[in-house]
Structure 1
Amino acid sequence: METLHPRVRLVWAVGAVVAAAVVGVAAAVVGRLDLPVPPWLPAALTVLAVVVAVGGVALAVLRYRVWRFEVRDDSLYLVRGVLTRTDTSVPFVRVQHVDTRRGPVERAVGLASVVVYTAGTRGADITVPGLTPERAADLRERLRDLATESEFDAV
């Protein structure tokens, strides 16, 4: 089973810190404006911002320890989840298309994600984060080729 690139922890931690910053800004705004709110609310929002930041960084480390994926003969297999472990097997015959994605934080740290869209209901897509751009392109092409082969084998 393959692991993700270690820098993915930074991507996930930055996401948590940004969320914490939003809560912190809300705390500052509520504290400065003359709004009819309980006097303890700004302090509670500040504590929440710290909890979100620390918890998010810890979660990033724990997620990295669990996240694994493997390209098998007939499917893409993923293991992920901290509190609830999720094992997913995506048969190649169900793959509709495969994309690579690089958000601003991923680009900044030199990573990419592969998104596998499957036949099924709304939200039927799987993302493999934390790959180098080269590894993401290789995985995208391999999954695309395997999906095409499985389509012809199914006929």
Structure 2
Amino acid sequence: MESLHPRVRLLWTGRTALSGLVLVALAVAADRLFVPVPMEFVVAGWVVLAALGAVHAVLAQRIWRFELQDDALFLVRGVVTRTDTSVPYVRVQHVDTTRGPVERTAGLASVVVYTAGSRGADITIPGLRPERATELRERLRDLAGESEATDAV
């Protein structure tokens, strides 16, 4: 099974820290407009949130795995609730690679697998080197095409 690039931890930790800054901004606004809020508690809360986010990011990156099996893409992910997902290639509609500005800065990319069905109709594999994301996208596209040709519906 293949794991994600360790740099994905920086993205996930940064996302949590940014979310925490939004909460800090709300606390500052509440302090100015409604009720006094001790800024020491706000800063301490942000530090705790950022630290928990970093721990969660490390654990999530260690757990996140994927594998191209004979007939399906298999994924394992989740820190608190572990999720094992098997996506049959015959259900794959199309596959994209994405690189947002933050991912580009970190030198990473994601692969998005769109599947037939309504619940959880797409799967994202984050934290890949761009070359690996392109290879994976092409391989998944080929496997989906091969499975479609052999599908006996």
- After TM superposition, the score normalised by the length of structure 2 is 0.92
RMSD over aligned CA atoms reads 1.6
The one-letter amino acid paired with 2:49 is V
Describe the superposition over 1:7-41 as per-residue Cα deviations: whole angstroms up to 9, x where unpaired: 0111111111111111112222222x2x333x347
Q: Which runs of 5+ in 2 are unaligned?
A: none
State the alpha-carbon separation in 1 of the partners of residues 145 and 107 from structure 2: 29
Report the count of equivalent residues.
152
Q: Aligned to 2:145, which of 138, 142, 148?
A: 148
Q: Aligned to 1:94, which of 91, 96, 118?
A: 91
Q: Is the 8 A contact 1:113 1:136 kept in 2?
A: yes
Q: Is the 8 A contact 1:26 1:45 kept in 2?
A: no
TM-aligned CA distance change 1:27 to 1:111, over 3 Å = same
Q: Is the 8 A contact 2:28 2:37 kept in 1?
A: no
Q: Which residue pairs with 1:107 in the alignment?
A: 104
Describe the superposition over 1:39-67 as per-residue Cα deviations: whole angstroms up to 9, x where unpaired: 34766544442332111111101101100
For 1:3-152, list aligned pairs within 5 A: 3-31=3-31, 33=32, 35-37=33-35, 39-40=36-37, 45-121=42-118, 123-152=120-149
State the alpha-carbon separation in 2 of the partners of residues 97 and 132 from structure 1: 20
Describe the superposition over 1:64-87 as per-residue Cα deviations: whole angstroms up to 9, x where unpaired: 110000001100000001011110
Q: Which runs of 5+ in 1 are unaligned?
A: none
The DSSP-based 3-state class of the residue aligned with 1:87 is strand
State the alpha-carbon separation in 2 of the partners of residues 108 and 118 from structure 1: 29
**Amino-acid identity (%):** 61
Q: Is the 8 A contact 1:116 1:125 kept in 2?
A: yes
Q: Is the 8 A contact 1:27 1:46 kept in 2?
A: no
The one-letter amino acid paired with 2:100 is G
The one-letter amino acid paired with 1:116 is V
